[in-house]
Amino acid sequence: MSTPPPLFQQVLQTPLFATLSEDEAAVLFGISDRRSITRGATLFEEGDPGDSLFILLEGEVDVLKKDPSGKQRKLARLSRGASIGEMSLLNDAVRSASVHAVTDLSLLRIPCGRFHRLLAEDNVPALKVVHNLAQVLVKRLAIMGDRVTELLDGNGLKRKEELASFQQLLSDWQF
């Protein structure tokens, strides 16, 4: 893939690529492609195969999860630099949330199959991305812990139903 320098520099500043040299990032660009999604469209739905990771180059998305009653709840709004679908690089499970475009999107897509081939070769850039991914997931886990704490008050549960729904989310969370 031929990558213009501004895009290359932008991706190097994202959390998943931050520790990679330009040469290492070029390896991952070589297995990537660009995608554009229009405002209002769905990037993927809960239950879809987890076949790729996306880096949000421009735009905003909402991450939505169905609660036990089937109602979609917004988990997060992500913007430029965020990674979406990163768990698909680690396992072959289906998507556990939906992602909808709030604005027009520009994305870099890394297909899982190509990434897994790099990992099988002990490719250093791919291993660094896995390490960076672990750092992103640790931060998200801390945020989830804070959210659980908010659901508790000094005398017990404030919103028992929300906590039960959140517990289900934790058991199968994957974007």
- pLDDT tens, position by position, 101-131: 999 999 999 999 999 999 999 989 999 999 9
- 145, amino acid identity: G
- pLDDT tens, position by position, 98-108: 999 999 999 99
Measured between alpha carbons, how far is 85 from 107 in angstroms, rounded to an integer?
12
Q: For the residues 92-99, what does the mean pLDDT come to?
A: 88
- pLDDT tens, position by position, 34-56: 999 999 999 999 999 999 999 99
- 150, amino acid identity: E
Measured between alpha carbons, how far is 79 from 132 in angstroms, rounded to an integer?
18
Band (pLDDT 50/70/90 cuts) for residue 161 is: low
Q: For the residues 73-98, what does the mean pLDDT come to?
A: 88
Measured between alpha carbons, how far is 49 from 63 in angstroms, rounded to an integer?
16
Q: Where are the beta strands (DSSP E) in the chain?
A: 33-37, 42-44, 52-58, 61-66, 72-78, 83-84, 98-101, 105-111, 152-153, 156-157
Class of domain 5-170 as given by CATH: mainly beta
- 35, amino acid identity: R
The domain locations on the chain are: 5-170
